[in-house]
Amino acid sequence: MKTLSLLLLTLAGSLLAEVPSTISLRAPARSEGKLLMQALQERQSAQGFTDREIPFQTLSDLFWAAFGINRPESGKRTAPSASNRQEIEVYGVFPQGIYRYDAKAHALVLVAAGDHRALSGRGEAAQAALDLLYIADTAKTGPGEKPGSANTASYVNVGFIAQNVYLYCASAGLGTRVRGGWDQKKLAEVMNLPPTMVVVLGQTVGYTTVAPSPKD
């Protein structure tokens, strides 16, 4: 199956060429995967992530499941958003670069080329095939109680998105784990984020070699 690296090489032409600025994702394969009740039974937090690449169709389905548009007529999405502010942006941190998920176009838009996984998470998160970052635009909601924090509603909204990813990963045979450990200051510099954009949560996704802990 086609992977992101193979696609990038195809689009860029060579290892020395620029990383593509936009990658159009495939339409979600809505008829694939396990039944909801089975996915709920198998939902758990993983460890032992590897750098094995995720197939391109699986990536396409993953981003749509996380926070894609499921009702095109209204622009509403697979996870709820308080007052429909849709202030959460989903970013994918790959070995090749950081991409923002554009739900309307169902595409990945380049934010920063290069391997920045060490900024998005510590330990095995820095070695996994994909780290997701959920970033709140506090200009749409107002800031949190502490400087540099998000509104409480944004944390709730991110929880819905993260659970979508958990269930999709259980359905698709991937491991995932929500986590901390990102470097807000350096990420803001690399990604050129305005002060209103606050990282709320990280979530590592990939194939694993270690069985998840029962407590998670």
CATH number for position 47: 3.40.109.10
DSSP letters for 123-135? GGGGTSSEEEEEE
Query: What is the predicted pLDDT for the residue at 57?
Result: 95
Residue 49 lies inside a defined structural domain of this protein: yes
Residue 216 lies inside a defined structural domain of this protein: no
Q: Domain limits at 203? A: 4-210
Q: Cβ neighbours of residue 129 under 8 Å, at least 6 residues apart?
A: 49, 50, 51, 52, 53, 54, 94, 95, 205, 206, 207
DSSP letters for 145-161? SSTT---HHHHHHHHHH
Summarize pLDDT for 14-45 with one digit per residue, the tens: 333 467 899 999 999 988 889 999 999 999 99
Residue 71 lies inside a defined structural domain of this protein: yes
**pTM given for the model:** 0.89
| Regions in the chain scoring below 70 on pLDDT | 1-18, 210-216
Residue 121 lies inside a defined structural domain of this protein: yes
Tokens 């060490």 -> residue: 118
Contact 35, 2 (CB under 8 A): no
Total structural domains within the chain:
1
Residue 215 lies inside a defined structural domain of this protein: no
Query: What is the predicted pLDDT for the residue at 12?
Result: 43
Residue 180 lies inside a defined structural domain of this protein: yes
